[in-house]
Structure 1
Amino acid sequence: MVVPDFSDPLVAAVQLGPMVDNMINERPVSVAELLAQADYAGAYWANLLAMNPATKPNSFILLSVAYTIGQMVGMYFKDFFGVARPVHLIPTLVTSIPTPAHPSFPSNHSLQNHLVLQLLTAAMPDGEAGHLFPYMQLLTDRLARNREVAGVHFRADTDAGRDIAAWLWTRHLSLMPAVTDVINAAKSEWSDRVGVQELNIGT
C-alpha cells in the first residue's frame, strides 16, 4: 500500500492525468451506473450470483459483514492518512456524484467489494477455480474503478482498498470463528455449484 505524494511531479501525473481522461471519455456514458453504485452495490452482487436473502441468507450475511467491516476499517485509514480528494487538486473536475466530506485514501468502495470477493469466494465450493470467480473478479474491479470514473477517487485509493481487503481477510477475518462459521453455513447454499462449468454457447 503506497500513499501518493502529490508533491512528486511524476506521482501527480500518474494519479491526476487519468482523472481528466475519465471525465471526458468514460463518465458521460456511465452516469446512470455511477449514481446507482454511489452508496451500496450489493444489488450488483445479487444480480450476478442470482441470489436473494430467502434462498441464500448466509451469503447475504457475508455481504453485510464485508460492507460493514470494510466501512469501519476504511474510515480509520482515511482519518489516519488524510489524503485530499481529486477535486481538491483539480477544481475543474466536475464529479458525477457529490464529493464525500471524508478523505480519499483508501477507497472504501474498493475495500468493501474486494472484501465481498474474498468472503463469497471462500463460500464457493470450488473457490477461485469455480466458473463464477472470473466474473466476480470483474465485477469487483468495475465497482472499484467506477469511483475513479466518477471523479471521487485516485487509482492509488483503489489499489489501497484492494490491499487492505486482502490483509483483513488473511490476517483477521479468515481466522475469526464468527466469520468462518457463516462462511461454512453459506457453503451449503452453493452446493449445487460443485463442478459446474460455464457453457460455451458461441456467438
Structure 2
Amino acid sequence: MAQSNKSNKSNKSNKSNKSNKSGTDDDELSMLGDGSSLTLSSALQSAMLAMNGKPVAITPKALVRPTEDTLFRRLNDRHRLHLLVRDLLAGVSVTPGPFDPDDRSATLEVDGPDWLTLQLLTGPATLAFWQRQVDHVRNQKWHREERLPEIVLQQTDIVSFLALAVPTPPETRRWILVLLDAVQEVAFRIATEMKAIFQMNRPEAVANDLAPIIQTPGHSSFPSGHATEAFAAAAVLGALYPSRLQNLRRLAARIAANRGFAGVHFPVDHIGGALLGDMLGALVVKRVFGKDIHTSGLGLPLKFIAGEDPPGTALDTLDLREIEAYGHTNRVVHMPATSVCTPSTIGALPPGNLTRLAKLVAGEVLGDGSTAGGWE
C-alpha cells in the first residue's frame, strides 16, 4: 500500500501535543529546553565541579508538598493523561451480548445502566445489505483524488481538522488540548473493546476490487475508530463552544467519510462509530463539567443495528446510511445555549483531577489564559 497506517490508538489521530506519544515524551527528558543526551550530561557533570562548596542543609519548608492543583499542572503529559482517563472511565464497561457469529452485539454501560448497544448482523439473510455497502465503497474509490491529502494526514491527525472550527494553538489552548488527548484516549479504549467483540472484516476482505489507498488496519472494521474519536472530540468542543457545534460535526463526518473513500470502512462503520463517539463525548462532558448533553428526547439506551436495510435504529427516520446526514442532523447530543464553562458551573464541581482540568479549560474558554481562571 502507498502509506503505512500507524495510528494513534484506533488509528492514531491526535498529535496535537506530546501526551499521545508512546514511550517517554521528549519534554520529560529535556533539560532547560534542550533534549537529553550523553554529551550534555557529561558536560553538565564537568561544569558541576565549579560549584563544589559547603553542603546545603535542608529545611522543614523543603519537605512541604505543593498544593494538589500545582502538582496537577506540573505532571508530565503521560502521567496526567493516565490519571484523567482512569477517572473518566471509572464505572464504564463494554459488555458483549450472547455469542453468535452471525449476530454480535456490544453494550456500553456507565455506572450500571446501558447507554448504547451496537449490533452487527452478518448471516446469509444480510448478503444484499452488505452488497450495497460494498457498492458504496466501490463508488467512492472513483472520487478519492480530491480527498487524498486529507485521507493521508488524518491517519495520524484529526484535531488539526477540527481546529478549523475551534482553533487550538498550544500557546493559548494548552488545557483544551490536554482535554482532547483524554477524549481521544477514552474513545480509543472503548472502540478497541467494541472492535474486539465484533471482528468485522474490512471491505477489501469482502470484495477484492476495492483497492484501498492506505494500509488496511488489522482490527475490526466495525465500529470506526476514526468516527468514534472525531465525534467524541466534536461533542466536547461543541460543549465548550456551542455556536460552533454544527461545523464541528460536519468536519467529524468528513473525517469519518474519508476512511470510506480510502477503502478501509463500510458506511455503517461510520455510523456506529459516530453514535459511540457522541455518547463518549457526552460522558466526558458530564464527568468533567457536570453537564448532561446527551439524548435530545431519545432516552437511553440507544441501539443501532448494522446489517438491516434500512439500518435498524431508535433514531426515528434519520437516514443512517450516509455519515454526512448524521453529521448534519444532531439527534443524540444537544448543547446548552451557553458554554458548559461558567463560573457557577465550575464552582459547584467536586474536588479531584477532573475538576482541576475543568478549571484550567474554563480559564482558556473564558479568556483568562492557561490558569485556573480565579477558581483555585
**TM bin (shorter chain):** 0.7 to 0.9
Match of 1:196 in 2: none
Among candidates 56, 60, 73, match of residue 173 of structure 2: 56
Residue 121 (str. 1) matches residue 238 (str. 2): yes
Match of 1:72 in 2: 189
Match of 2:135 in 1: 17
Deviation of 1:179 after TM superposition, in Å, equals 4.4
Superposed CA RMSD in Å reads: 2.0
Report 1:79-158 matches (<5 A): 79-124=196-241, 127=242, 130=243, 132-158=244-270
Unaligned runs of 5+ in 1: 193-203
Higher RCO (CA 8 Å, separation ≥ 6 residues)? 1
1:128-169 per-residue CA deviation (whole Å, 9 max, x = no partner) reads xx1x22211111111111111111111111001111122323
Deviation of 1:183 after TM superposition, in Å, equals 4.1
Deviation of 1:41 after TM superposition, in Å, equals 1.3
Q: Matched residues in 2 for 1:167 and 1:47: separation?
A: 23
Match of 1:201 in 2: none
- Report the CA distance shift for 1:180/1:140 in structure 2 as closer, same or farther (over 3 A): farther
- Report the CA distance shift for 1:166/1:49 in structure 2 as closer, same or farther (over 3 A): closer
- Report the CA distance shift for 1:2/1:55 in structure 2 as closer, same or farther (over 3 A): same
- Report the CA distance shift for 1:184/1:135 in structure 2 as closer, same or farther (over 3 A): farther
8 A contact 1:110–1:140 mirrored in 2:
yes
Among candidates 284, 294, 312, match of residue 173 of structure 1: 284
Letter matched to residue 13 of structure 1: Q
Structure with the largest fraction of helix: 1
8 A contact 1:19–1:148 mirrored in 2:
yes
Match of 2:163 in 1: 46
1:1-60 per-residue CA deviation (whole Å, 9 max, x = no partner) reads 342426313311331111000011x21222122111112212222344222111011211
TM-score by length of 2: 0.46
Find the residue that maps to 1:176 and give its secondary structure. helix
Q: Matched residues in 1 for 2:211 and 2:147: separation?
A: 14
Match of 2:145 in 1: 28
TM-score by length of 1: 0.82
Structure with the largest fraction of strand: 2
How many residues are paired up? 185
Q: Matched residues in 2 for 1:176 and 1:21: separation?
A: 41
Q: Matched residues in 2 for 1:45 and 1:111: separation?
A: 14
8 A contact 1:81–1:105 mirrored in 2:
yes
- Report the CA distance shift for 1:70/1:190 in structure 2 as closer, same or farther (over 3 A): same
Match of 2:363 in 1: 188
8 A contact 2:162–2:234 mirrored in 1:
no
8 A contact 2:237–2:245 mirrored in 1:
no
